[in-house]
Chain A
């Protein structure tokens, strides 16, 4: 059976690395991006150069119309979607609660939570045996921030990931008997475009590394391997699970 994987936020970081690794494992890939047009096309070119199949599709995961169109265009180009990775996410603006800006919060939740849920809706409509689909597998990229509320100034981001985890558990139960597996992956600190600005500060990075039991940050490749394993048939009895990929969590 041919495997078609849609990755939201696939132009950078964990999404891009997942796309590259997935292609070498025989998936045809639709790679969604919002603004990183050149980067998305570079990932596609890299995959094609190795004999894989991939397309890049623009779309803002905070907008329902873009999401609906993304799924339609993916299927038109690559056929039925069998796998989905919800990797699109934004960090919002860091800050204490007394500094919150309503619009920033709304946008954070629109992308990280509502957009992800609508992507799952579109996937369920296509994958569920209840709708004539052949099943599928979904991984939602959450964060270790969901477990303890995040580092200082990240409570809002943590809240959005907490919502992702709770949604994943409920959604997984809902569609488990309809052939769809759904799991969350919770990366700890990983070097990506989303985090590299902060991690460039050497003192900050040293502090982060000291706070991780493994004493290092993770790589996108390590997270992508976990995403792909959860997507694969080897995890056939695993659904509704939250997998921490965090170097041991936090020193306490």
Chain B
């Protein structure tokens, strides 16, 4: 059976690395991106150069119309979707609660939570045996921030990931008997486009590494390997699970 994987936020970081590795494992890959047009096309070119099949599809995961169109275009180009990785996410300006701006928070939840949930809706309509689908596997990219509320100033981001975890557990139960597995992965600090600005500030990388039991931050490929394993049939009895990929969490 051919495997078709849609990755939201697939032009950079964890999403891009997952796309490259999935391409090498025989998945046909639809890579969604919002603004990183050149990067998305570079990932596609890498996959094609390695003999794989991939396409890049623009779309803002905060916009329902974009999400609906993304799934339609992915299927038109590659056939029925069998796998989904919800990797699109933002981590906007950090700040204490007394500095919150309503619009920033609304946009954060629109992308990280509601967009992800709507992607799961679209996937369910296609994968669920209840809708004539043949099942599938979904991985939602959460964060270790969901477990302890995140580092200072990251409470809002942490809240979105807590919502992702709770949604994943409930959604997984709902579709477990309809052939769909759904799991969340919770990466600890990883160097990606989303984190590199913060991690590049003087002293931050060393301090973050020191706070991790394993004494180093993670690499995108380590997270991608975990995502691809959860997507694979080796994880056939695993659904509704939260997998921490965090180098041991936090030193306390």
Note all chain A residues with C-beta closer than 8 A to B177.
Answer: 213-215
**Contact present for B172 and A213 (CB under 8 Å):** yes
Note all chain A residues with C-beta closer than 8 A to B173.
Answer: 213, 248-249, 251-252
The answer to whether the Cβ of A172 comes within 8 Å of any Cβ in the partner chain is yes
Interchain residue pairs A-B with the least CB separation, the first 9: A213-B176, A176-B213, A237-B222, A222-B237, A248-B176, A176-B248, A218-B237, A244-B241, A241-B244
- Residues of B at under 8 Å CB distance from A? 169, 172-174, 176-177, 187-188, 212-215, 218-219, 222-223, 225-226, 229, 234-249, 251-252
Note all chain B residues with C-beta closer than 8 A to A226.
Answer: 234-235, 237-238
Q: Which of B223, B226, B240, B252 is the one whose CB lies under 8 Å from A244?
A: B240
Residue of B nearest to A250 (CB): B173
**Contact present for A225 and B241 (CB under 8 Å):** no
**Contact present for B234 and A237 (CB under 8 Å):** no
**Contact present for B176 and A215 (CB under 8 Å):** yes
Note all chain B residues with C-beta closer than 8 A to A169.
Answer: 249
Note all chain A residues with C-beta closer than 8 A to B214.
Answer: 176-177, 237, 239
**Contact present for A234 and B239 (CB under 8 Å):** no
With contact pairs A172-B213, A235-B226 given, residues A248 and B249 touching in the complex (Cβ less than 8 Å): no
Note all chain B residues with C-beta closer than 8 A to A212.
Answer: 176
Q: What per-residue 1/0 map shows which CB atoms of A140-169 lie under 8 Å from chain B?
A: 000000000000000000000000000001
The answer to whether the Cβ of A219 comes within 8 Å of any Cβ in the partner chain is yes
**Contact present for B239 and A248 (CB under 8 Å):** yes
Note all chain A residues with C-beta closer than 8 A to B234.
Answer: 225-226, 229
The answer to whether the Cβ of A54 comes within 8 Å of any Cβ in the partner chain is no
26 A-B pairs whose Cβ atoms sit less than 8 Å apart in the complex: A172-B213, A172-B249, A177-B213, A177-B214, A188-B237, A190-B237, A213-B177, A214-B239, A222-B237, A225-B234, A226-B234, A229-B229, A229-B234, A235-B225, A237-B214, A237-B246, A238-B243, A238-B245, A240-B248, A240-B249, A241-B246, A243-B243, A245-B238, A246-B237, A249-B240, A251-B173
Q: A173-B249, A244-B241 are in contact. List 13 more A-B contacts (CB 8 A).
A: A176-B247, A225-B234, A226-B238, A235-B245, A236-B222, A237-B187, A238-B222, A238-B245, A239-B246, A240-B213, A243-B241, A245-B235, A246-B241
**Contact present for A238 and B176 (CB under 8 Å):** no
Residue of A nearest to B175 (CB): A213
From residue 76 to 135 of chain A, which have CB atoms closer than 8 A to chain B? none
**Contact present for A241 and B213 (CB under 8 Å):** no
Q: Which of B188, B218, B239, B249 is the one whose CB lies under 8 Å from A213?
A: B239
Taking the closest CB of chain B, its distance from the CB of A89, in whole angstroms, is 18
**Contact present for B237 and A223 (CB under 8 Å):** yes
In whole angstroms, how far apart are the Cα atoms of A48 and B61 in the complex?
53
The answer to whether the Cβ of A52 comes within 8 Å of any Cβ in the partner chain is no
With contact pairs A173-B251, A213-B173, A213-B177 given, residues A246 and B240 touching in the complex (Cβ less than 8 Å): yes
Most buried by B among A176, A238, A242, A243: A238
Taking the closest CB of chain A, its distance from the CB of B204, in whole angstroms, is 19
Q: Which of B219, B235, B244 is the one whose CB lies under 8 Å from A240?
A: B244
